[in-house]
Amino acid sequence: MFNNVSGQTNMATKVKQGVSGTRILRLPAVLEKTGDCRSGIYRKMAEGTFPRSVSIGARAIGWLESDVDAYIAQRPLTRPSIGL
């Protein structure tokens, strides 16, 4: 995370560094990376098709970047059909 002039954490990054060097993505970064919506992420978690979140504090969760990357890699590549 970066500090601004006043020494406060810049929350625009939405990414934290894990203990073992694994990056932990917060929800806004996961939404941007996957293109999914918030309710879609939680629905897929409940269905078991999206990685489970990890606790990073008393009231904070995130997702391991490697898990999110693996989820993205296994998604089928589809494009909307164009009617001609």
**What's the maximum distance between 2 C-alpha atoms anywhere in the chain?**
57
Yes or no: say if 28 and 68 are a contact pair by the CB < 8 Å rule.
Answer: no
Residue spans per domain, the chain? 18-74
All residues at 6 or more sequence positions from 68 whose CB lies less than 8 Å from its CB, including other chains: 25, 30, 33, 34, 51
Instruction: Express each pLDDT in 30-69 by its tens digit.
Output: 999 999 999 999 999 999 999 999 999 999 999 999 999 9
pTM of the shown model: 0.69
Yes or no: say if 54 and 24 are a contact pair by the CB < 8 Å rule.
Answer: yes
The predicted model gives 7-14 an average pLDDT of 43
What crossing angle do the helices spanning 65-74 and 27-34 adopt, rounded to 10°? 20
